[in-house]
């Protein structure tokens, strides 16, 4: 028996995840403005990119999160966070 797909629920959940990602980005913006810590800036970039790619996915005629352009954009945002973590840890030593 195959599961029943409900595209309206998929769109709702993807929109909810996009909104939550953008709200998380606002929190990291507040933390970055208070401390000027580049790690907070990296997380701000990560969450804004995640929220924007989810929003763009909703606007596609055939929504697919596995689209190469969306995948590469998300990969770059994860690499920004990884680079900020490495930079912060290496700066201490």
User: Which tens digit of pLDDT belongs to each residue from 33-84?
Assistant: 999 999 999 999 999 999 999 999 888 877 677 788 889 999 999 999 999 9
Please tell me the predicted confidence (pLDDT) of residue 84.
Answer: 96
| pLDDT band for position 1 (cuts 50, 70, 90) | very low
39 lies in some domain: yes
Q: Does the structure show a pLDDT above 50 at 25? A: yes
What average pLDDT score do residues 15-26 get?
96
Q: Are 42 and 81 in contact (CB under 8 A)?
A: yes
Q: Dihedral sign for Cα 9, 10, 12, 13, please.
A: positive
Q: Which structural domain range is residue 16 located in?
A: 9-92
Q: Does the structure show a pLDDT above 70 at 3? A: no
19 lies in some domain: yes
32 lies in some domain: yes
Q: Are 28 and 44 in contact (CB under 8 A)?
A: yes
pTM of the model: 0.86
**Number of domains present in the structure of the chain:** 1
Q: Does the structure show a pLDDT above 80 at 87? A: yes
1 lies in some domain: no
């Amino acid at each position: 028996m195959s599961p029943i797909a409900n595209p309206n629920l998929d769109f709702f959940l993807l929109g909810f995840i996009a909104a939550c990602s953008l709200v998380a980005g606002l929190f990291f913006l507040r933390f970055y403005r208070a401390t000027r810590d580049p790690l907070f800036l990296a997380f701000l970039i990560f969450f804004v990119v995640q929220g924007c790619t989810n929003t763009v996915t909703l606007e596609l005629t055939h929504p697919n999160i596995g689209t190469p352009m969306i995948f590469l954009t998300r990969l770059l945002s994860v690499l920004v966070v990884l680079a900020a973590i490495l930079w912060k840890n290496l700066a201490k030593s």
